[in-house]
Amino acid sequence: MNNVYQDGKGFAKSYILSYTEMTDQESSFPEESFKELGEKGFLKLLVPEEYGGYGKGLVEHAEACLAFAETCATTALCYMMHNVALMCVLTHGSAELKKRIFEDVVENGKFLALGYSEIGTGTHFYKPEITAEVKGEYTTFNGTKSMVTSASYASYYLVLAPSVEEGKINNWVIPLEEDGLTFASSDWQGLGMRGNSSCPMHINDVTLHSSNRIGEEGSGEEQVFNVVAPFFILGLGAIYSGIAVHLFDIVSHHAVDRKYPDGRSLSNIETVQVHIGQIYKQASVAKAMTLDAAQAGANGDADALAKILAARINASEAAIDCGTLAMRVGGGKAYNKALPIERLLRDAYAGQVMAPSTDVLNVWLGKALTGQMIP
């Protein structure tokens, strides 16, 4: 896999595009696309080569998410969550845990998801309220995670829970088949990203051996801010950049193809030209900022965190702005859903509230730029 972005674009055209509308209209998880993601090797993108993967990193992660989002944001979002969870296992998991999960990903096409958010703490997902009762080598968990992407479809769920060390948290892997794990699938009624199956996960007396804990006791917060944050936040930047790029593709083609009786096209109208130019500028900036932030993160640059935060914030805002302008260009056809602009605008609005929300991220960006601790 030499050019992840181009390979991802080709994959999306062949194995994602045909399911995109159905994913939204039926609020259905893109199972067929994920089966192909496994068979074509994208699920093992970040798995080290010694385990049979491609051993790629932050840049390729961003490129893949961007490529998929230019066709289906829902599929890109669920894929992004898998990569983030995989990186936690890679960077902090024991040798036994890595071997077990990586083999399942590589050989069986299994994928992972994040189960961090809770009703009480909302976008501050790193402050879990579920309980964890320790008895020797085993820990029993009780509580509810509020919005778990890929719920009931992923094979492994990363869950944050309190540590025995005061004020600290742990990151755990809960396999799908564990007794006491259930999902409230009917509770997912998303405005956008409708196929991501982001529903509550109920954890009732789920008991895990300590081998399912990722990293040392109390290391959960370190994982959240050193691993989850860059891959998750940058991944979202790539997804919303992809939505903006997709909107430009739609409106630019529509403006040229929409003909008046005198033979002129919609693109001959100056106001439409201005709107299309604005959409192109914002989409291009969002994409460029995201890829630049990915490279900065991969290089370990001093300003990498600020760039990643800024890229995510900008991409979320750009996607909404581009969608609003695209609705004007699309006019009645967009409003009547003859064009997919309305769907993309709904997907874009998720960027404001998805943890960490843009409000939280703006605070973090200010802290990062002034040398303060986050959060």
358 & 226 share domain: yes
144-168: b (≥16 Cβ within 10 Å) or e: bbbbbbbbbbbbbbbbbbbbeeeee
pLDDT at residue 147 tops 70 = yes
155 & 261 share domain: no
Q: Which two tokens stand for residue 331?
A: 């006019």
Residue 306 lies in a domain: yes
Q: State the CB neighbour count (10 A cutoff) for residue 99.
A: 12
| Residue that is last in its domain, among 216, 244, 277 | 216
pLDDT at residue 243 tops 80 = yes
pLDDT at residue 2 tops 90 = no
pLDDT at residue 187 tops 90 = no
C-alpha torsion angle, residues 139, 143, 146, 147 (rounded to 10): 30
The pLDDT tens digits of the residues spanning 302-344 come to: 999 999 999 999 999 999 999 999 999 999 999 999 999 999 9
226 & 193 share domain: no
Residue 75 lies in a domain: yes
| Residue that is last in its domain, among 216, 245, 262 | 216
145 & 12 share domain: no
Residue 374 lies in a domain: no
Q: Are strands 169-175 and 156-162 parallel, antiparallel or unpaired?
A: antiparallel
103 class by beta-carbon count within 10 Å (0-12 exposed, 13-18 middle, 19+ buried): middle
pLDDT of residue 123: 63
Please check whether residue 60 is in contact with residue 41, taking contact to mean a CB–CB distance below 8 angstroms: no
Residue 318 lies in a domain: yes
Q: Amino acid letter at 107? A: E
CA 354-175-59 angle, to 5 degrees, is 50
142 & 267 share domain: no
354 & 225 share domain: yes
pLDDT at residue 162 tops 70 = yes
15 & 132 share domain: no
| Residue that is last in its domain, among 216, 239, 268 | 216
188 & 207 share domain: yes
Q: Which residues contact 299 (CB under 8 A, 6 or more apart)?
A: none
pLDDT at residue 165 tops 80 = yes
Domain of 323, CATH number, reads 1.20.140.10
Q: Which residues contact 256 (CB under 8 A, 6 or more apart)?
A: 265, 266, 267
Residue 286 lies in a domain: yes
pLDDT of residue 375: 76
pTM for this model (two decimals): 0.96
The pLDDT tens digits of the residues spanning 38-80 come to: 999 999 999 999 999 999 999 999 999 999 999 999 999 999 9
Q: Report the C-alpha gap between 72 and 18 in whole angstroms.
A: 10
Domain of 155, CATH number, reads 2.40.110.10
130 & 251 share domain: no
pLDDT at residue 126 tops 90 = no
Stretch 188-205: mean pLDDT:
95
Residue 180 lies in a domain: yes
pLDDT at residue 120 tops 80 = no
Number of domains in the chain: 3
Structural domain including 140 reads 115-216
Q: Report the C-alpha gap between 103 and 107 in whole angstroms.
A: 6
In the structure, what pLDDT confidence band is assigned to residue 357 with cuts at 50, 70 and 90? confident
Stretch 194-218: mean pLDDT:
97
Domain of 41, CATH number, reads 1.10.540.10
318 & 234 share domain: yes
Q: Report the C-alpha gap between 240 and 246 in whole angstroms.
A: 10
Residue 375 lies in a domain: no
Quote the DSSP letter at residue 122: T
Highest-pLDDT range among 111-120, 166-175, 180-189 = 166-175
88 & 33 share domain: yes
* Widest pairwise Cα distance in the chain: 81
119 & 84 share domain: no
Beta strands, E only, 230-361: none
